[in-house]
Every structure is written in C-alpha cells, then in structure tokens.
Amino acid sequence: MADDFTRSRPRAGGGDGRVTASSGNSFRLRYKLLFSAAGFLVLLSAAMLWVVFKASTLQKELEAANALIAPLQETVSQNKPAEAESILTAIRLHTAAAKDAANDPFLGMAAALPGLGSNFSAVSEVARSADDVANLGLTPLVEVFESLNWDALVPSDSGADLGPLTEAGPKVASAAYAVRESAQRLNQIDSDGLLPQVAEPLNEARDQLSQVSHTLDAAADASGLLPTMLGGEAPRNYLLVIQNNAEARASGGIPGALALLTVDKGKLSLGAQSSASQLGSLSPPLTVDQEQQDIYSSRLGKFVQDVNLTPDFPTAAATVQSMWQRKTGQRVDGVVSVDPVLLSYILEATGPVSVDGSQLATAPPAELPTKLTGTNVVPTLLSDVYAKIQEPKLQDAYFAGVAKEVFSALSSGQGEPKKLLAGLNKGTEEGRVLVWSVDATEQAVISRYPLSGSISGPSISPAQFGVYFNDGTGAKMDYYVKRQVQLVKECQAGGYEQTSVRVTSTNTAPRDAGTSLPEYVTGGGVFGVPPGSVQTNIVAYGPVQANIESATIDGQRTSFAPYLHSSRPVGVLSQRLAPGESQTIEFTFGKIVQHTEPNLFVTPTVQPLKDVVLPTESSRCDVEQ
C-alpha cells in the first residue's frame, strides 16, 4: 500500500511522477544559484562593511590631523621648533593613514556607484589634499621655521640677518603652490548633491585651505620682497610719514612729521627730518588723477598736509614723494606711513623711551612725561603736547623728536622680537602701516595686500565698503571724536543686494572746549567752525559697479555729493558736531551685483579698531527670507 501510494504520488520533473535527468540538473542549478546569490550578498555586505570601515577610518584620521593644527600654530608662535616638528610628524601619520584609506580599491569602486558614490569620491579627495598639504605645504614651512633665527630678523645695531629669509623664499613659494593646487582640486568638486555629513566638512576644508593658501602666498611674496626692500642688496631710502590722527585724513591723519628712513641690511636709521608746514605749498601744484581731484580738490597736489585727503595711498604716496623730491632734491625708493598708535605698539615691545631737552630748543614742560610708554605716547602726542607747548614749531619738533627716539629703540633691537613682530602685524591689519614702492615690480606685489592702502585692485574684496574721515575744522579736534561704523544688509531690490553704511559720531570734548582747549586744537574759528565744534567730511565708498542711492542724517533724507572713483560709487557728506553732540549718517548702496559677504575698511583713528567697526547687521526682512 505504501509502495502503491509512493508510486501514484506526483514527482517533480514529470507528470508521471518519475524524476528525469533534466529535472535533477535544474534542481541542482537552483541550489547553486541560491548559494551563489547568498555568497554574493555576503561578499557585498562584507565589501560594504569594509567600505564603511575605511570611510570611518579616513574620517577619524582627518579629524585627528585637524585637531593638531592649532597646537602646531601655537608651538610656532611660541618659537618651539622641536615641538612643532613632533606635532608635524603626528599630522603626517594621520594624513598618510587617511590617504591610504582613500586609495583602497573597494572605496574606489564605491565612488563609482550612482548616487552615493560622489560622497565617497569627495571624502577621498579631501584626504589626498590633506596629505599633500601636510607633506608639500606644512613640512617645508616647519623646516623654514626651524632655520630662521627670529632674533636676527628684527632690526638691531648690527642690522638683520636676511640670508635665511632669502634662502627660505623658494621653499615657501613651493609650499604655497602645493596648497594652492590642493585648494583648486577641492573647489572643482560639486557639493550640491552631497550628503550634509560630507558637504559641510568639504566646505570647511575649502575655507581652511583658502585661508592657508592666502597666508602662504603672502609669506612667499614677503620672503621674495623683504630682503631687497630691507636693503639686503643695496641701501634703501624711504620717506617716513607719521600721520597725526588728531586731525583726520582719509588714510589716518595729517602728515605730522616726515623723515628720511635709511635701511641697510636691515639696519634702520633716521636722517633729515621735517614737517608738512616746513615743506610748504607747491606752485604750480602737482597733477593728480582727475577723478580724485573732483572729489578732494586740487589741494591734493598743492599741500603736503592734504595729499592723503584721498584714501588711495598709492596716489598720496607718489604725490608726497614728488613733493619731497622737488623741495629737497632727494629721490626716495618709497614711502612708509605709520601713526602714533603704531608707535604705541612698538613701545609695548621695546619698553619706554626717554624724552628730554634734546628734542626741543628748550626742555619740554614739566607736565609732559619724561618717559613715553605704550600707554601714554598716544595721549601725549595727540593731545597733551598741544596743551603744554604753545608754539607750533616746537610741537612739530617734539613730535619729530619722539619719533626719532622710538625708531632708535626699534633699530637698536630693544625688546622681545616676537612681541615686536606681533605689534607690527596688528598695526598692519588695522591700516596703521602703509607701504608704497617707486619700483613698479615691487609695487605690483605690494598692491595685492591691504598694506598697499589701495582703494582698487587685487587687495580689494568684491563687496568691500569704505568709510573715510577728512577734517574740516583745520585743527586737532578729532582726538575727541568717537565713532562707530556698521554695515546693514538691507532687503534685496530687483534681485540686487542693498547695503547701508551707518556712521555714528560723537564729539566728546568738554562743554567749554571753545575756551578751555588751546586755540591750536580748536582752530579758533579760523575756518568758520565755532571753537569746540568739529567739522568732518565723511566719505563712503561702495563696491565696484554699485549705485549710491540715498543718504540720511538721524533718519531724515538729505542731499549729498555723489562721485565715482575707479568704478566705485562715492558719497560725501559734511558733518558738524558741537561739544557733546552725536549724529548718525547713513549711505544706502543699491544695484550691488556681488553676492558675497560684505566687508568694511575705516580710516584708522585714535580708538581701537574693535570699538569702531561693529559687526554687520541684517535687516528684518533679510533674516525672514
């Protein structure tokens, strides 16, 4: 029965229940396919796990390398070459491990997958760029850092050792090139379709590489330019201009003292000294660019005191150089401008300097300090000297004498080199150090940086605004004016950006300034401004090709003088403030085609820059959008 039942039961492969050869093969084939599919899934899972593992390794190694950048910068700033080398070795180990993970064949295959593949490709490219930066960028820089003697680079009685800086030039240039190439590779990656976890680190890497690239380009230019400009090949003569911020000019202040600065193999020495009043006026005046003459008048080419009514320092420097040559017969190699605030930064590094009767025809009044420090040099030069010394010629002599003492301390190598370099760097960032060279090749390099004081060209960012102050009182009242300047991003109009420039000024002079302050400080009403009041021409520049739409004073629309300078819109308003009075002026710029974050440059004043330039504000509708 069982056997009959078995025979009558249908079998796979034949209607009659018999198992044929072909049905058995099919059965075995299915099992093979099943096992093959299972094996493939296992391999695929293993491969994906391996890819995830490699991607995770890559990410961790990059994060570890990135975490060491700040300690590396710190050891360099603290002049600890051995520690810097140790940290760099660790960075290179991490970036090498990340690059090794990026070169894994499975990760390469994953990069070819549609959809997610671009994310693996982007991360791998970041790893390769990081390794290039570590080996081709950071390594030669640390080697250069180890070879430089910072103490020998600053001025001293015996000059500065410029040889190592000259030798470092090619290495720094090579490092700059490597980082620039890495930055360009990352910039070519389309981040629009990437996952946020990949796009954000990619954009961060781009920003960091961009900053490093700019820094290295600057270092390469400096190492190539400084040895020559510091007299490494032949002595250089520069006209040193010390701007007096108590009487505002667009680039800082009226030229308070002028001197011939000679640099020979890094050694500084001051020669002939003069003042703007001693040089007098030029007749006929020098020819100045018509656009600038329209805005600032022909005084630009007639009076040394007015060459820097224009904020374009190359124009002012070339003009004052020509004036100096016409008056003295000396042709200088360039112009260097500083202000008393920069002198305070120098004194913070060198220590105090003594001031005695050698600076004046007679000894200075007892009320003036006999030692000038980083704390008291600014109020002494920009305020106290006018209250205690009545004769303008003696004021000029005192100003020039102090400048000579400060540069004597600088040239003798007093103080801590790193602190001195930090002070000079801070002054440069604030626009208190400006340089211009007669040599066109050198000037072309200088023009790439804010140090040039240019209002157009490669040093100007796409959406740059400028606010500049020119005294209209004919006196030294700007010492008492406190200012705040702020950009306000307005709602877009017609698809274009709109930005307002807000300037708030306050005259902090005492109520009785007209009688309590010296006439030389108040102007005595000679130019029609009541004693104690301050008159200022406020000049606002917008980005290239933008329009200046309107201006307001304390919220009320007002007329203004519109101009154009190097394709940048310019607005000018005159402002008069009585003691204690405050006023806010706004210029609104429209049709701005640049869709980048705006930035702002402001005339350096007596105030710290951080107190003058406020963070950019966004209007309400812009935030909602």
Residue range 236-265: average pLDDT? 94
Residue range 202-222: average pLDDT? 73
Altogether, the residues listed in the chain come to a count of 625
Report d(CA 422, CA 153) in Å as an integer: 13
Residue range 198-216: average pLDDT? 68
DSSP 430-475: TT--EEEESSHHHHHHHTTSGGG--SSSTTS-TTEEEEEEEE-SSS
Torsion 209-210-216-217 (CA) sign: positive
Instruction: Tell which residue, 96, 102, 62, has the closest CA to residue 205.
Output: 62
Q: Which residues of 107-127 are buried (b: 16+ CB within 10 A; e: fewer)?
A: beebbeeeeeebbbbbbbbbb
**pLDDT at position 1 over 90:** no
Per-residue confidence (pLDDT) for residue 516, from 0 to 100:
95
Q: If you average pLDDT over every residue of the chain, what do you get?
A: 83
Residue range 47-71: average pLDDT? 65
Per-residue confidence (pLDDT) for residue 260, from 0 to 100:
94
**pLDDT at position 396 over 70:** yes
Per-residue confidence (pLDDT) for residue 108, from 0 to 100:
57
466/31: higher pLDDT: 466
Per-residue confidence (pLDDT) for residue 94, from 0 to 100:
78
Per-residue confidence (pLDDT) for residue 408, from 0 to 100:
85
Residue range 224-239: average pLDDT? 92
Q: To the nearest whole percent, how much of the chain has pLDDT over 90?
A: 47
Please write the tens of the pLDDT for every residue from 613-623. 999 998 766 44
Residue range 123-141: average pLDDT? 74
Which part of the chain has CATH 1.20.58?
Answer: 39-229
Q: Roughly what angle, to the nearest 10 degrees, separates helices 117-132 and 21-67?
A: 40
Q: Which of 359-373, 421-435, 552-566 has the highest mean pLDDT?
A: 552-566
235/57: higher pLDDT: 235
**pLDDT at position 395 over 70:** yes
Report d(CA 316, CA 284) in Å as an integer: 17
CATH code of the region 236-440: 3.40.630.190
**pLDDT at position 278 over 50:** yes
Which of the 8 DSSP states describes residue 271? E
Per-residue confidence (pLDDT) for residue 322, from 0 to 100:
95
Q: How far is CA 400 from CA 66, 81, 158, 409, 476, in A?
A: 49, 40, 24, 14, 17
Per-residue confidence (pLDDT) for residue 39, from 0 to 100:
47
Q: In what order do the strands lie in the sheet with 252-264?
A: 267-274, 252-264, 236-249, 334-338, 434-437
Residue range 447-469: average pLDDT? 95
Give the tokens for residue 473.
Answer: 């009182």
Instruction: Tell which residue, 400, 435, 409, has the closest CA to residue 269.
Output: 409
Per-residue confidence (pLDDT) for residue 523, from 0 to 100:
94
Phi, psi (deg, nearest 5) at residue 580 = 85, -10
Q: Residue 5 — pLDDT band, cuts 50, 70, 90?
A: very low
**pLDDT at position 478 over 90:** yes
Q: Which of the four CATH numbers 3.40.50, 3.40.1000, 1.10.287, 1.20.58 does domain 39-229 have? A: 1.20.58
Q: To the nearest whole percent, how much of the chain has pLDDT over 70?
A: 79
Residue range 279-289: average pLDDT? 90
**Is residue 405 within 8 Å of residue 353, measured between CB atoms?**
yes
Per-residue confidence (pLDDT) for residue 359, from 0 to 100:
55
Please write the tens of the pLDDT for every residue from 159-193. 677 777 777 778 888 877 877 887 777 777 776 75
Which part of the chain has CATH 3.40.630.190?
Answer: 236-440
**pLDDT at position 12 over 90:** no
Residue 604, SS3? coil
Residue range 590-610: average pLDDT? 94
Residue 625, SS3? coil
Which of the 8 DSSP states describes residue 367? T
Q: Residue 7 — pLDDT band, cuts 50, 70, 90?
A: very low
Per-residue confidence (pLDDT) for residue 461, from 0 to 100:
92
Least confident of 213-217, 307-311, 345-349, 492-496: 213-217
Q: Residue 537 — pLDDT band, cuts 50, 70, 90?
A: very high
